[in-house]
Amino acid sequence: MLSKKVEAALNAQINAEFWSAYLYLSMSAHFAADGKPGLANWFKIQFDEEQEHALRFFNYVIERGGKVELKPIEKVDLSWNSPLHAFEETLKHEKVVTALINDLVALAREEKDYATESMLQWFVNEQVEEESTAQSYIDALNMIKDNGFGIYTLDKEMQGRK
């Protein structure tokens, strides 16, 4: 059984993950409308990943005898000035998610909930990857600057993400 504190925190994380999915779907829609199908694809797959993350937490709460409580999804931004701006916002957001995951790990330790702490290690590792990926695109876009061919090439590369 989950403690009430851990159950509440996991429910908050489920909702945070669904919000993340919604954010990335909004980014996908923005870049689709902006004629950048590769970026739209990349953020659509990011949307799918975030939904999977939410469902991992969802299933875990149920598996541990808890009750899932879904909340309304808060509004997300609808446009970004550039691909660089979108990835800067992505990195900023992923750092917030990393802090949320770290807080969950600390709570699980405080509650001596070793099963939850173990489950959370997958997310700890995932966040390292999420931040690193966003930073690598920021670095690439900083090199490209406003070079249309560079952005075109990066967009084509991003169409290959599955």
pLDDT band per the 50, 70, 90 thresholds, residue 4:
very high
- Tokens standing for 78? 């609808």
Burial of 162 (0-12, 13-18, 19+ CB in 10 A): exposed
Residue spans of the domains in the chain: they are 4-158
Give dist(CA 20, CA 30) in Å, integer: 15
What is the pLDDT, as a whole number, of residue 151? 97
CATH superfamily entry for domain 4-158: Ferritin, core subunit, four-helix bundle (1.20.1260.10)
Burial 108-126 (b: 16+ CB within 10 A, else e): beebebeebbebbeebeeb
Question: CB atoms < 10 A from the CB of 130, how many?
Answer: 23
Question: CB atoms < 10 A from the CB of 16, how many?
Answer: 20
Percent share of the chain, pLDDT over 90: 99
Question: What does the H/E/C string look like for 66-114?
Answer: CCCCCCCCCCCCCCCCCHHHHHHHHHHHHHHHHHHHHHHHHHHHHCCCH
Residues 6+ apart with CB under 8 A from 77: 23, 26, 89
pLDDT band per the 50, 70, 90 thresholds, residue 56:
very high
- Tokens standing for 33? 């409308």
Residues in the chain: 162
**pLDDT (tens digit, 9 = 90+) per residue, 89-122?**
999 999 999 999 999 999 999 999 999 999 999 9
Give dist(CA 8, CA 35) in Å, integer: 41
Residues 6+ apart with CB under 8 A from 95: 131
Q: pTM of the entire structure? A: 0.95
Give dist(CA 114, CA 108) in Å, integer: 7
